[in-house]
Amino acid sequence: MYTADIRQPLVTGGKTYSDVTKDVCRPIENKPTPSWWLGFSIAVVLLLVLAGTLAWTVWEGIGTWNVNKSVMWGWDITNFEFWVGIGHAGTLISAILLLFRQKWRMAINRSAEAMTIFAVFCAAIFPLFHMGRVWLGYWPLPLPNAFGSLWVNFNSPLLWDVFAISTYLSVSLVFWYLGLIPDIATVRDRATTKARKFWYGFFAMGWNGSAKSWGRYEVVALILAGISTPLVLSVHTIVSMDFATSVIPGWHTTIFPPYFVAGAIFSGFGMVLTLLLIARHVMNYQDYITTEHLEAMTKVILLTGSIVGLAYITEFVIAAYSGYEYEQYAFANRMFGPYAWAYWTMMFCNLVAPQVFWSKWARTTPWFIFIISIIVNIGMWFERFVIIVTSLHRDFLPSSWVMYHATWVEVGIFLGTFGLFFTCFFMFAKFLPVINMAEVKTIIKDKE
Amino acid sequence: MVDKSILLDNKKFTVGIFDDSDKLLHAVNTLKEKGVKIFDCYTPFPVHHLDHALGYHRTNLTIGAFLCGLLGCLSGFTLAYYMNVVDWPMIIGGKPQDISVFTSFIPVMFELTILFTAFGMVIMFFARTRMIHGIKEDLLSRRQTDDHMVLAIDNDQDQSLSNKDILELLKKEGAIEVNDSKEAFNTSLTSEEELTKILKSNKTSTKKTKKK
């Protein structure tokens, strides 16, 4: 075992291998706690809100939203971007941090990957329903259509997005499931009820932990991490191209791909922190998700928050320097126009607030990190709102300038996606091991 | 469910059960030095250097993954080129629609490369490791996915040492339990007695953690 004396142990509390198994399997093997039921009920209520508002949208039409011909993307694509961004932390943690050999990832990668998958589900709802006729949602796929041999347009970034997001979702699912197999086998071998024995046995696929399997398994995990790394970066790059390849002032900038990727990691870590701080408290996982873990994540928040802040300022400076009147107006309008409140909320939440993490106290105090993580989530939602709405509401033709405010249906769908997200997450916390037992067992004695 | 049947062919094994990965690794090295042929080891987590110690070669799955990736990349190109250039070019604003727009095919080629690599490799991994939904596991210890590490030696193979010597050597290396005729089993074959025991130990541990 490798030990570095200046480092704190990755797992505290002197846990043994069987302690890890017992602690992680406890929620699966016992009845859910009252706090689980409470959280789950709230999530299901919100899920019903989602179902209701989506049904109303389909029944009545997109007219139930306030999107119009100037602001055609409104809350809908804002929410899509928001959820896709959140979906970036999971694969970043499990893939990029694996390549960087950051062992602290092992206690948090399972829940972060789960979060990724659920967030992408939530994201997918928005473009699908924005089509208006959701039953024709398969049209962006490269299928020969019924009215002739017209195919999808491969020159369109929107089509690249379809490929990127669906690849990202399926590869993340595979990566997550592969990581789950040894742990599902652990639950199977401890199973005391017939149902648990059957279902966990079914999904464990006969895993028995032989050295040969582990050898192959590790190579597969490494390659998956290797290919997931460019995948994570490509997804938000392509999402940013939805904007950057247009000729709308405020969107048409080359800085978008790196800026969006940094923003995605930033918001993803914000959400991971929010969820983990709750899970750690409710499930008593303080020995596995230690303050060291929180500190490491806050450092990522600090770094990516600063990158995002730098991008905001760069964007502004370049607009001022460009000598291009429309670009200059778009940015001045963001800062001082009717949506200035949104712009300054974004600036405060994303650029100013995370700077508190320069202080060691802020990085190691859970309740404070929780507050900042919520602020980060809010800030990143506003970033997308600012980019989309302020760039669209005043275009080249002053006669088509409008103000845009969401209707209750749009707000309901957004709140409803939180219901979907948390319903999935609560189910995951009840039925699957939230911490990667097999990986945590390898670092139990490490200080790194 | 069908059986996995890597171990279940009525084979008997000599097993040593360890509770520490360093001890297991040391035992494997010592046995190998004495010329004992080891069937396989079963551990709850990946033990580093164990595959080298057992003399396993690095898996060839990476080559398969590369080929899948190549196939994905070519599929991406074929898809985009056939649809947008050969079959039905969409001329928008008089812009060309031929090989010169290759760059806008790159994102799709890239995504399909990743998709094919990931799925191809994982499917090959499952096939190679004989894993499929519904297959029954075969275990040598109920706790080999929890905290026990099993070193298994096939009794049908000729060994340089006698069975007794091997057992003694395993004990000397720190095995907490040895057995010279262990048969593989799966959880559906486990007795109810054993299940109750596990359930009890589980409950006591819950109480302990709550007190903390």
ipTM of the complex: 0.88
DSSP A387: I
Question: Is the pLDDT reported for residue A45 higher than 90?
Answer: yes
Question: Is the pLDDT reported for residue B16 higher than 60?
Answer: yes
> Smallest CA–CA separation between A203 and chain B, in Å?
6
Residues A84 and A165 sit within 8 Å (Cβ to Cβ): yes
Cα–Cα distance measured from residue B17 to residue B151, given in angstroms and rounded to the nearest whole number? 6
User: Which pLDDT does position A23 carry in this prediction?
Assistant: 84
* CA neighbor of B7 nearest in space, from B183, B135, B136: B183
pLDDT in tens, A307-329: 999 999 998 899 889 888 888 98
Query: Average pLDDT of chain A?
Result: 87
For A205-290, where are the alpha helices, taking DSSP H only? 211-244, 256-282
Identify which of B19, B108, B202 has the shortest CB distance to residue A154.
B108
Rounded to 5°, angle at Cα A89 from A302 and B48: 105
Band (pLDDT 50/70/90 cuts) for residue A446 is low
Half-sphere exposure of A172 (CA within 13 A, CB side): 32
Band (pLDDT 50/70/90 cuts) for residue B209 is very low
CB contact under 8 A, B121 and A223: yes
pLDDT in tens, B76-127: 999 999 888 888 888 888 888 888 888 889 999 999 999 999 999 999 988 8
Q: What percent of chain A has pLDDT over 70?
A: 96
CB contact under 8 A, A167 and B131: no
The full length of chain A comes to: 448
Token pair of A288 as six digits: 């596995």
Instruction: Indicate which of B110, B145, B148 best probes the interface with A, i.e. most A CBs within 10 Å of its own CB.
Output: B145
Pick from A213-227, A380-394, A396-410, B3-17: least confident: B3-17
Cα–Cα distance measured from residue B14 to residue B11, given in angstroms and rounded to the nearest whole number? 10
Q: How many CB atoms lie within 10 A of CB B9?
A: 10
Q: Going by C-beta distance under 8 Å and a sequence separation of 6 or more, which residues neighbour residue B176?
A: B17, B18, B19
Band (pLDDT 50/70/90 cuts) for residue B188 is low
Cα–Cα distance measured from residue A163 to residue A301, given in angstroms and rounded to the nearest whole number? 28
Residues A94 and A179 sit within 8 Å (Cβ to Cβ): yes
- How many CB pairs below 8 Å do chains A and B form together? 226
pLDDT in tens, A269-302: 899 899 888 888 888 888 888 888 888 889 989 9
Strand B13-18 to B40-42 pairing:
unpaired
Sign of CA dihedral B210, A296, A417, A164: negative
DSSP A8: P
Instruction: Indicate which of B111, B191, B211 best probes the interface with A, i.e. most A CBs within 10 Å of its own CB.
Output: B111
* DSSP annotation string for A315-330: HHHHHHHH--HHHHHH
Pick from A207-211, A295-299, A368-372, B151-155: least confident: B151-155
Cα–Cα distance measured from residue A155 to residue A163, given in angstroms and rounded to the nearest whole number? 13
CB contact under 8 A, A197 and B188: yes
CB contact under 8 A, B46 and A21: no
SS3 at position A416: helix
Token pair of A230 as six digits: 């460019």
User: Which pLDDT does position B191 carry in this prediction?
Assistant: 55
User: Which pLDDT does position B189 carry in this prediction?
Assistant: 53
Q: What Cα–Cα distance (Å) separates residue A123 from each residue in A75, A78, A413, A420? A: 12, 10, 11, 11
Q: What Cα–Cα distance (Å) separates residue B140 from each residue in A197, B110, B208? A: 17, 44, 29
pLDDT in tens, B146-185: 888 888 887 777 777 777 777 787 887 777 887 777 777 7
Cα–Cα distance measured from residue A107 to residue A293, given in angstroms and rounded to the nearest whole number? 8
- Domain ranges for chain B: 1-183
Question: Is the pLDDT reported for residue A81 higher than 60?
Answer: yes
Query: Average pLDDT of chain B?
Result: 79
CB contact under 8 A, B50 and A211: yes
Mean pLDDT is highest, among A105-109, A218-222, B133-137, B188-192, for A218-222
For A323-407, where are the alpha helices, taking DSSP H only? 325-336, 340-346, 360-364, 366-385, 391-393
User: Which pLDDT does position A147 carry in this prediction?
Assistant: 64
User: Which pLDDT does position A29 carry in this prediction?
Assistant: 83
Cα–Cα distance measured from residue B43 to residue B46, given in angstroms and rounded to the nearest whole number? 7
Nearest CA in chain B to A227: B114
Largest Cα span, chain A: 72
Nearest CA in chain A to B115: A167
Dihedral Cα A196, A91, A297, B45, nearest 10 deg:
50
Strand B2-3 to B135-136 pairing:
parallel
Q: How many CB atoms lie within 10 A of CB A2?
A: 10
User: Which pLDDT does position A42 carry in this prediction?
Assistant: 93
The full length of chain B comes to: 212
Q: Once rounded to an integer, what is the mean pLDDT over residues A376-392? A: 91
- A-chain CB neighbours of B198 within 8 Å are 190, 192
Q: What Cα–Cα distance (Å) separates residue A414 from each residue in A80, A126, A277? A: 9, 9, 23
Q: How many CB atoms lie within 10 A of CB B29?
A: 16
For residue B2, what are the β-bridge partners?
Answer: B135
- B-chain CB neighbours of A212 within 8 Å are 40, 51, 56, 129
Q: Going by C-beta distance under 8 Å and a sequence separation of 6 or more, which residues neighbour residue A155?
A: B84, B92, B101, B104
Identify which of B43, B84, B142 has the shortest CB distance to residue A211.
B43
Question: Is the pLDDT reported for residue B1 higher than 50?
Answer: no
Identify which of B51, B69, B146 has the shortest CB distance to residue A17.
B146
CB contact under 8 A, A211 and B56: yes
Rounded to 5°, angle at Cα A301 from A299 and A304: 110
B 58-117: CB under 8 A from A: 58-59, 61-62, 65, 69, 79-80, 83-84, 87-88, 90, 92, 101, 104-105, 107-108, 110-112, 114-115, 117
Cα–Cα distance measured from residue A183 to residue A194, given in angstroms and rounded to the nearest whole number? 18
Which phi-psi region, left, alpha or beta, contains residue A395 (left: φ > 0; alpha: ψ -120 to 50)?
beta
User: Which pLDDT does position A441 carry in this prediction?
Assistant: 84
- A-chain CB neighbours of B107 within 8 Å are 157, 160, 163-164, 234, 238
Question: Is the pLDDT reported for residue A66 higher than 70?
Answer: yes
